[in-house]
Amino acid sequence: MLLRRVMENVSAQNWFAVGIDFVIVVVGVVIGIEVANWNDVRNNKAELATSLELLDKEVSQNIDIIQEVLIIFDEGREDLNRGRDTLNACAFSPDAQAALERLLFDFVEDVQPNFTTVALDQLASQARYQDLLSPKFQEEFGNYAARLNEEHEQLTSHYENMWSHHVSRHPDVTAFFSADTKEYEGWDFKLDKPFAEICVDASFRNRFINTIGFYTSINDRLVQFKIEAEQFQGSLAKELESVSGKF
């Protein structure tokens, strides 16, 4: 319809009318492009809000995982203190040796968190979302991602070193199975030397100190990371509120 009218005006050499028609066409194209861009931005914001909601749930899962591991540490704290004090005092008693051997079992508890990063990785890979995020949150997002990766590497290293020092490779520690061992479901650890020899064995004491260092470091790192994850979740909630209010 518009094209036919333009042709008629050209044939009639009505250049003013041709100009008006041209302006109408240009304005229509510009409006169409703007509407399409607005719809794209609106859809991207809606998708970003969904991604941030998923990330929020994922951060909550990681915080819960940390809390579960910290509970394990709290439950073994008495054995840790008593086992360390027993070795330092070199004062044998059946209860003291039992506490030390229980501590060796505590060292093989599952204190290596398997953090979830699916939503984090998906959000980081979507370049079209970056311009929709505030610069402050982009920085906080990057810091959280870096800390999550760092904690995974450090905690894995510490956990493997614990196994290496006092479980899998230490010559004075033996794992065994027994139908009489009820507390640990049929398996446990025992010292292969008399306690009097163990407590003055420099190799055992040095490794024991290192193992406790790895163990307590895992606890300390998780306590700090839990605080940082909760702070990031607070920033995430604000960013989600801001993004949701823009579409």
In the structure encoding, which two tokens stand for residue 98, read together? 């039992």
Under 8 Å between Cβ of 218 and 110:
no
214-247 per-position pLDDT tens digit: 888 889 999 999 999 999 999 999 999 988 765 5
29-60 per-position pLDDT tens digit: 555 555 445 455 666 678 888 899 999 999 99
Q: Which helix (H) or strand (E) covers residue 173, if one does?
A: strand 173-177
Per-residue pLDDT at 9 exceeds 90: no
Distances (CA, A) of 76 to 13, 42, 139, 215: 95, 52, 37, 11
DSSP string over 49-87: HHHHHHHHHHHHHHHHHHHHHHHHHHHHHHHHHHHHHHH
151-201 per-position pLDDT tens digit: 988 888 888 877 777 666 777 777 777 655 555 455 677 888 888 888 888
